[in-house]
Structure 1
């Protein structure tokens, strides 16, 4: 499975609850319209926790969105598109209602799993 991760922060004037509600009820359905070839579209909402040595977790994302692809060609094409092009106008306009767009970060992952079985 190939994955693209999107790390995003909410606009500072929007509460956590309002952010999550808007993403689920408005933005995710809109984004799904443009998600041809995506096999899973997951939103992982971050609940920051303190660290005993470094303190509060204050600079991380509010959501980590995962786009999963079974087809490598579609994954590579999508990655090329989202790293070189702006999203369609209706997506960009909707993102302005929700996100601090300057905070967006895009990454891919190589996964390794330890079997504790």
Structure 2
């Protein structure tokens, strides 16, 4: 996953529009072995425990899936081509605050939730 914040001065509408119509196509072009590619917009919501509304530190979490760790690592090769790298960086500078970009590998851990046998709802 990649945590991203939009460039200062860019409205949320401009950010989402450009990301969806232009930047995403670069990702698809330069990372051909992705299995899944989505952009998850982050919008503030009131905290049910503390109240109040706090702006998230990031505007989007980009989620990318690969068949394996090896496929993920191989994916970096095409992006290191000088022309591809220059195009990606130039486009990121137009869209993101690159100083705040953060890449992470996510390890899923699911909880088994106790269910009510009669209703199927969570206890």
Q: TM-score range by the shorter chain?
A: 0.7 to 0.9
Given the two structures, how large is their TM-score scaled by the length of structure 1? 0.80
- Change beyond 3 A, Cα 1:56–1:78: farther
Unmatched runs of 5 consecutive residues or more in structure 2? 116-123
Deviation readout 1:19-53 (Å, 9 max, x if unpaired): 00000001001121111211011100111123252
Q: Does the 8 A contact of 1:9 with 1:61 survive in 2?
A: yes
Larger radius of gyration: 2
Report whether the alignment pairs 1:38 with 2:2. Answer: no
Give the helix-richer structure, 1 or 2.
2
Q: Is the 8 A contact 1:37 1:71 kept in 2?
A: no
Q: Distance in 2 between matches of 1:7 and 1:105?
A: 5
Any stretches of 5+ residues in structure 1 without a counterpart?
none
CA distance in 1, matches of 2:92, 2:107: 28
Higher strand share: 1
> Aligned partners of 2:109 and 2:55: how far apart in 1?
28
* Count of aligned positions: 109
By relative contact order (CA 8 Å, sep 6+), the higher-ranking structure is 1
